[in-house]
Amino acid sequence: MWFDILPSFWEGTKITIELTLFSAVIAFFLAFAAGFGRLSKFRAVRLLSATYVEIFRGTSLFVQLFWIYFALPLFGIMLPKMVAGVLALSLNAGAYGSEIVRSTIISVPKGQTEAAIALNMTPWQRTRLVILPQALVMMLPPFGNLIIELLKGTALVSLITLSDLTFVATVLNSSIMRPTEIFSVLLIIYFVISLPFTRGIRWIEHRLSAGRY
């Protein structure tokens, strides 16, 4: 039985990892755009970013995914499953990521900005050379957690019949009816994929706290 199921699990795993990586990259850019947008000095930009963030944090990924896949076609926008999946995942994670970006930038002490102004740096130099290097380091652990949430979120695309890991498992289960084996293996695969991230986060957190106290 294992000879039959493992290859299809492998195909599903590839889709799941692809989904996670694509969405993570797009979400990363969205997070920075919306995170900086909320700190912008232009009211319109702040309002626009806040609306995006509140809409995608106020509803769940599930509802967003179904809306994009089933409701958008009524406006004439018919997206392939993979595109709909990546779009929903990255818009959702981007909204959560923007809060990470915003809160870490705010948490860089004010004296840093003041010192940069005293040194006659331009606003762009201030951000690039003083604020961001300090904020980026603080962003790493929460971004790691966000990627794990993203990985977990990819399971939902099985419900719009995109053939990721979970979809492969449900199809296998309805044909060979061995739920115990199939769903246990499924859980373990997800756990193994997330391991490098959980380990990485712990390592970074350890490194960051070294020498602090």
What angle separates helix 132-153 from helix 2-38, to the nearest 10 degrees?
Answer: 140
Judged by CB under 8 A, the residue of 30, 86, 87, 169 near other proteins is: 169
The Cα 185–Cα 183 span in angstroms is 5
Q: Does 66 bind other proteins (CB under 8 A)?
A: yes
Q: Which is nearer to other proteins, 112 or 170 (CB)?
A: 170
Number of Cα atoms under 13 Å in the Cβ half of residue 194: 18
CB atoms within 10 A of CB 194: 17
Touching other proteins, residues 77-106 (CB under 8 A): none
* Residue 120 main-chain phi, psi, to 5 deg: 65, 35
Q: Does 75 bind other proteins (CB under 8 A)?
A: yes
In the complex, minimum distance from the CB of residue 37 to other proteins, in angstroms, rounded to a whole number: 19
What the block records as the tokens of 126 is 């201030």
What the block records as the tokens of 125 is 């130099």
Site string for other proteins, 17-56 (x = CB under 8 A): -------------------------------------xx-
- Burial annotation 5-43 (CB, 10 A radius, 16+ → b, else e): beeebeebbebbeebbebbbebbbebbbbbbbbbeeeee
Looking at 34-42, 98-106, 112-120, 151-159, which segment touches other proteins (CB under 8 A)? 151-159
Judged by CB under 8 A, the residue of 74, 118, 120, 124 near other proteins is: 74
What are the CA-CA distances from residue 35 to residues 52, 67, 135, 164 (Å)? 11, 24, 12, 30
What the block records as the tokens of 90 is 């990255």
Touching other proteins, residues 185-204 (CB under 8 A): 186-187, 190-191, 194-195, 198
Judged by CB under 8 A, the residue of 1, 106, 137, 152 near other proteins is: 152
Judged by CB under 8 A, the residue of 1, 67, 129, 161 near other proteins is: 67
* Binding footprint of other proteins on the chain (CB under 8 A): 54-55, 58-60, 62-64, 66-67, 70-71, 74-75, 148, 151-156, 158-159, 166, 169-170, 173, 179-180, 183-184, 186-187, 190-191, 194-195, 198
